[in-house]
Amino acid sequence: MHAEQAVSDIVSQVFAGDPSAAQAVFNHYSERLVRLAEKHLSRRLAGRVDGEDVVQSVFRTFFRRGGEGEFQLEGSAQLWQLLVRITVLKARAKARHHTADKRNAAAEEQIIEQFEPTAGEPGPEDAVILVDQIDVLLRDLPAIYGQVLGLRLQGRTVTDVADELKLSRQTIHRALNLLQERLTAMEIAS
């Protein structure tokens, strides 16, 4: 009974806005929830969303809705069940979101499979054309887009780019999607 009372007290402190209690709950459950979320996400979504993204969203929801009085938890078992339920629902929602028609990760894989590199090395004329295209692509965009593109062209992962630029992976994905849309529009126009 003592342990259950301690959990109930911590949850009450979390919902009252105590950051140290929130951190304690996060630290206690987050690692297991990340593993659970990753079981509900396919491997082809790994570049777009991972278990940590889902768990961050889970805790934002848990803290916000708990602070609004939506949850009445009696002990650690109920807390764990609630966090598991939110995690599974959010992981499934993220998977649906990222497999919707225009965002379908499988479509990206098909494009990659169809790509056949041309023979030979690019010459100086190709470099000039590339620089011109990049200038047009980045025109009227904030400088951060150029930094994102430069790091990705160096072969850096989205996570590495996000860490270096101190941005979220979702922000990096949005920037890359915008650049892809602009590049596609440029190809159609030419």
CB 109 within 8 A of CB 98: no
Same domain, 131 and 89: no
**Residue-wise pLDDT tens digits, 101-127:** 554 455 555 544 555 555 566 677 777
Q: Which residues are CB-neighbours of 182 under 8 A, at least 6 positions away?
A: 137
Number of compact structural domains in the chain: 2
Amino acid at 8: S
Last residue of a domain, one of 42, 74, 102: 102
Q: How confident is the model at residue 147 (pLDDT cuts 50, 70, 90)?
A: very high
- Give residue 111's pLDDT: 47
- DSSP category for residue 43: G
Same domain, 92 and 128: no
What is the distance between the alpha carbons of residues 85 and 22, in angstroms, rounded to a whole number?
19
Q: Which residues are CB-neighbours of 17 under 8 A, at least 6 positions away?
A: 67
Query: For residues 86 and 186, which has the higher predicted lDDT (pLDDT)?
Result: 86
Whether the pLDDT of residue 169 is over 50: the answer is yes
Average pLDDT over residues 161-178: 92
The encoded tokens of residue 48 equal: 């777009």
What is the distance between the alpha carbons of residues 117 and 23, in angstroms, rounded to a whole number?
49
Whether the pLDDT of residue 54 is over 60: the answer is yes
What's the whole-model pTM score?
Answer: 0.50
- Give residue 15's pLDDT: 86
Query: For residues 60 and 48, which has the higher predicted lDDT (pLDDT)?
Result: 60
What is the distance between the alpha carbons of residues 128 and 131, in angstroms, rounded to a whole number?
5
- Domain of residue 137 covers 121-189
Q: Is residue 139 part of a domain?
A: yes
CATH number of the domain within which 156 lies: 1.10.10
**Residue-wise pLDDT tens digits, 13-51:** 888 888 898 999 999 999 999 888 888 776 555 556 677
- Give residue 165's pLDDT: 94
- Give residue 97's pLDDT: 66
Last residue of a domain, one of 67, 102, 137: 102
Same domain, 98 and 126: no
Average pLDDT over residues 118-137: 75
Q: Is residue 82 part of a domain?
A: yes
The encoded tokens of residue 69 equal: 């009085």
- Give residue 92's pLDDT: 81
Same domain, 86 and 142: no
CB 45 within 8 A of CB 39: no
- Give residue 162's pLDDT: 93
